[in-house]
Amino acid sequence: MEAISGDIITAINTLWVLVAGFFVFFMQLGFGMLEAGLVRTKNVANILLKNVLDFSIATIAFWIIGYALMYGTGNGFAGNTFFFLKGIPETTAGVPTLAFWFFQLCFAGAAATIVAGGVTERTKFVAYFIYSIVISAFVYPIVGHWIWGGGFLATKGFLDISPVQVLCIV
């Protein structure tokens, strides 16, 4: 049997990472539908707009600062490289770094959206999006750095299923 070339393995792994990212992205739709079913009719459009804008804000925040804090080289608390994705390596965990970034972005967006249902009809629109920026740009990435980005919990032997460990199937 002929060995599979490295390019084919990279292509398969990249496809898998993107498909997994799309599934996580579709969690946004699930949260939106759940939350739309939990609110009064007059607030359905509001909550659906919050979900769309939540992911949009998460995308910008994670691109500017989130990925840098999570996977940039730095100290045990946070990373301090890769702001605006400048200087990222070509590959991460055997896949193109931009595919890996998309996968992580989807989780950052989902982490911010989870709370939307709990605060529906209880917060002002602007206050919710300030929260969304803080979660997507700082909270999720910094805690992620502690565990998956080589932070202090990782050095103390803390174990969690790393997205890197489950991404590559070949």
pTM of structure: 0.88
Q: What is the pLDDT of residue 166?
A: 57
Q: What is the pLDDT of residue 27?
A: 92
Print pLDDT tens along the chain (170 aa).
467 788 898 999 999 999 999 999 999 999 999 999 989 999 899 889 889 999 999 999 999 999 999 999 989 999 999 999 999 999 998 899 999 999 999 999 999 888 888 888 888 889 998 999 999 999 999 999 998 888 999 889 887 775 555 555 55
Q: How far are the Cα atoms of 17, 29, 132 from residue 139, in angstroms, in the given order?
A: 23, 23, 10
CA R_g for the chain: 18
Q: What is the CATH number of domain 6-167?
A: 1.10.3430.10
93 φ/ψ angles, rounded to the nearest 5 degrees: 55, 30
Q: What is the pLDDT of residue 116?
A: 83
CA nearest to 164, candidates 5, 9, 4, 20: 20
Q: What is the pLDDT of residue 169?
A: 52
Q: What is the pLDDT of residue 119?
A: 85
Sign of CA dihedral 116, 70, 99, 169: negative
- The b-or-e profile of 139-165 (16+ CB within 10 A means b, else e) is bbbbbbbbbbbbbebbeeeeeeeebee
Q: Is 95 in contact with 88 (CB distance < 8 Å)?
A: no
